[in-house]
Amino acid sequence: MRKTTYIQAINEAMRDEMRRDERVFLMGEDIGHYGGLFRVTRNLMEEFGEKRVIDTPISEQGFIGMATGAAMVGLRPIIELMYMDFFLVAADQIFNQAAKMYYMTGGVVNVPLVLRGQHGGGKRYGSQHSQSVESTFAQFPGIKVVTPATPYDAKGLLVAAIRDDNPVLFLEHKMLYFTRGDVPDADVDYVVPIGKADIKREGTDLTLATFSYTLLQALEAAEELKAEYGFDIEVVDLRSITPLDMETVLASVAKTGRLLAVHESQSNCGIGAEIVARIYEEAPYLLKAPARRLGMAPVSIPVSKVLEEEILPWKKNIKAAVLEMLR
Amino acid sequence: MTKPSLQASIPSALADVATAKVTLPNDELLKMYRSMFLIRRVEESLLELAESGKIGGAMHTAIGHEGSAIGAAWALNKTDYLTCTYRGHHHSLARGMDPKRAIAEVLGKATGFAKGKGGSMHFVDPSLGLMGANGIVGAQVPHATGMALAARIRGEDRVAITFFGDGALYQGLMHETFNMAQKWKLPVIFYCENNRYSEMTPISRTSSVSEIYNFVKAYGMVSVQINGNDVEVVYATVKEAAARARAGEGPTFIEGLTYRLSGHMAGDLETYRTSEEIEMQKQYEPLAVLQQRLIERGVSEDQLEKIRAEVEAEVEAAVEFAQDSPWPPIAEAYTDVYKV
């Protein structure tokens, strides 16, 4: 084990898979010569050349469509979008094309495509560069949605995404990029399976199910709730949204009897709403108190620091929600 | 409103590139005739099935468009990738798709090429290089271009051809794709089947560009306008474009002028054109043109009749097969969501 940043972990996953499998190639804006807006694709063009690391024009729909086509004939493209918000520009190619191709063709054409995108609030980028829209993607069968929060999970899940035979949305929160964590040595080949949650903190009083950057906020909130109130919160890192590992969530709630689902995307019609609905459908008898969700307020993301802090479901808001449920 | 006329807009000589034309031997032309007549009869049979209520949803037939499909199919290999629009039955049949599987698919039967899940708008068969018709206007164009990119990355000697209608030129992603294809000199052929109507609206009412093949000139792409109803012209032009693509010279845009004799889709009220216009166009439609040419080159009417009778029997059997085929098992609704 060694410590790397989240960025480094993602960069290594792509590099290792490109070395291992010549079908893997990259497309995106400023990813080659510049090395990516956030330097995630640094040095890859130097190693793999312009044929496999392709600097595209600002034509998201066009190049995601081309990547879909290349994937339809067996290559394994990885798309980088510097902001997840831009995936909406290419919505048809993602939702109507890549996600549905395998089904529409009766299983004769599949699309092994990875869509990497940076997302989330916290850096005052405002309404069109801060969104988390993974629940929109989760509405479309055929596409997997992966949301790692640690460098270890980021590398292992990206390797799994690249080896997957389906389109995978891989989300990288902008607040996670410079976080550091343990990652196996460079020569260790490991995979984190898509669709498997991970308990990041054990506890007995309440299950907090979350993913991506709100996981770190939830862990901090849990420590403070322990120190300040003596509550023991169990924090479940979902890691994948599609498929959703309800088994791990249910096992945790069996222990705690309480569930709060937290995410940065919209509360309305979100993943939290889904998890809460499913616990009532599948195991309502586990609950000692009503299950709840906490997402973003139904507004667009403002730029002002104080306004952004108000609406994001981060530590302060997580603690408040937990206290309402436990007091 | 002036109705557009095919006669007026088929040029005798191309403005930019002389019309490539070959004289194919009669036996090849007879095979083309057979395939073209088969497409025609399949489409007519499907329209009859639709009228009798046996086909749901939207079905877009290509009666009158057969020239582009046949000419291109003969000019390319089955290893060359092809994508097309929801008006795509003709491209699949021209490449050799079994009409049984085609009709069964449109009827939603288990014996269809996609087990009844894709239907009329999603014709596909990778073993014939048919990589998918598409329900969204223009969406298949970057797919073929990406397949050309894949061929480039793998170092394979394949080209991709993508068919779209005149209406697709007004989708933004087309222009994104043209730019990348030309910039990277990808082995792709952009074939526009210009039937003069974007669904029910003549492009003259919505386009600020009167000649479609001019669009891509800003990208520096070689672009030609041809008579898309003449299989020998289509064959020669696609052949030349494929040779350019294989030689690394990049994409070619082909505007093949044609005319859709059937409605936009089954059940189209066709209030946008007169029956006189349709009658007038019949003298230029590809099957009539090819038949006339074969007669002029010494083929007897008896020979043609024999082919037509064979095809009639084949299509009749295919319709019967499709109608008699079982529905897909209910469990099929839940499969093919993810590849495992």
Q: Domain of B250: which CATH number?
A: 3.40.50.970
CA distance A88 to A133: 9
Residue B338 lies in a domain: no
pLDDT at residue A16 greater than cutoff 60: yes
- Give the chain B residue nearest A58 (alpha carbons): B176
In whole angstroms, how large is the CA radius of gyration of chain B? 19
Residue B333 lies in a domain: no
Q: Is residue B150 within 8 angstroms of chain A, CB to CB?
A: yes
Which tokens go with B272?
Answer: 């946008």
For an interface test with A, the pick among B173, B190, B335 (most A C-beta atoms closer than 10 Å) comes out as B173
Positions of A marked active-site: 60, 129
Q: Is A101 within 8 Å of A73 (Cβ atoms)? A: no
Distance CA B200, CA B197 (A): 6
Taking residue B18's Cβ as centre, other Cβ atoms within 10 Å add up to 9
Does the distance separating the beta carbons of A56 and B134 come in below 8 Å? no
Q: Is A84 helix (H, G, I), strand (E, B) or coil?
A: helix
- Chain B residue with Cα closest to A141: B337
Mean pLDDT of chain A: 97
B136 touching chain A per CB within 8 A: yes
Q: What pLDDT score does B9 carry?
A: 44
Between strands A240-242 and A292-296, the pairing is unpaired
Q: In chain B, how many domains are there?
A: 1
Residue ranges making up the domain that contains B119: 16-281+289-325
Question: Is B71's Cβ below 8 Å from some Cβ in A?
Answer: no
Contact A144/B338, CB-based, under 8 Å?
yes
CB contact under 8 A, B336 and A74: no
Domain ranges in chain A with CATH number 3.40.50.970 = 2-183
Residue at B218 is within a domain? yes
Domain assignment present for residue B149? The answer is: yes
Distance CA A245, CA A207 (A): 14
B20 within domain boundaries: yes
Q: What does R_g of chain A's alpha carbons equal in angstroms?
A: 19
> Pick from A114, A25, A111: which is nearest to A68 by CA?
A111
- The edge-to-edge listing of strands for the beta sheet with A144-146 is A53-55, A24-28, A76-81, A114-119, A168-173, A144-146, A240-242
B168: which chain A residues are within 8 Å (Cβ-Cβ)?
A: none
Domain A2-183, second-level architecture: 3-Layer(aba) Sandwich (3.40)
Residues A105-120: what's their mean pLDDT?
Answer: 97
Among A62, A74, A165, select the one facing B142 at the smallest CB separation.
Answer: A62
Q: B9: which 2 tokens?
A: 């807009």
Indicate which of A29, A50, A73, A165 best probes the interface with B, i.e. most B CBs within 10 Å of its own CB.
Answer: A73
Q: Which pLDDT value is given to residue B1? A: 39
Q: Tell me if A67 sits within 8 A of A56, measured CB to CB.
A: no
Numbered ranges of CATH 3.40.50.920 in chain A: 198-326
Chain A CA closest to residue B335:
A103
The SS3 assignment for B264 reads coil
Distance CA A170, CA A117 (A): 6
**Surface of B (179-198) touching A: CB under 8 A:** 179-180, 183
Q: Where are the alpha helices (DSSP H) in chain A?
A: 6-20, 44-48, 60-72, 91, 101-104, 134-138, 151-163, 213-229, 246-256, 271-282, 305-311, 315-326
Distance separating alpha carbons of residues B13 and B259, to the nearest angstrom: 19
Start-to-end C-alpha separation, chain A: 41
Q: Is B331 on the interface with A (CB under 8 A)?
A: no
ipTM over the 0.90 cut-off: yes
- ∠ CA A105-A167-A50, nearest 5°, is 110
Could you give the percent of chain A with pLDDT greater than 70? 100
For tokens 């009844």, the residue is B116
Tokens 């940065």 found at: A264
Nearest C-alpha in A relative to B162: A69
B8 occurs within a structural domain: no
Contacts of B134 in chain A (CB under 8 A): 97
Q: Which CATH class is domain A198-326?
A: alpha beta
Does residue B145 lie within any of the structural domains? yes
Q: What is the pLDDT along chain B (340 residues), one digit of tens a residue?
A: 344 444 444 443 334 444 677 999 999 999 999 999 999 999 999 999 999 999 989 999 999 999 999 999 999 999 999 999 999 999 999 999 999 999 999 999 999 999 999 999 999 999 999 999 999 999 999 999 999 999 999 999 999 999 999 999 999 999 999 999 999 999 999 999 999 898 888 888 888 988 999 999 999 999 999 999 999 999 999 999 999 999 999 999 999 999 999 999 998 999 999 999 999 999 999 999 999 999 999 999 999 999 999 999 999 999 999 999 999 999 999 999 999 9
Q: Which of A96, A109, A140, A240 to mutate to test the interface with B (most CBs of B within 10 A)?
A: A109
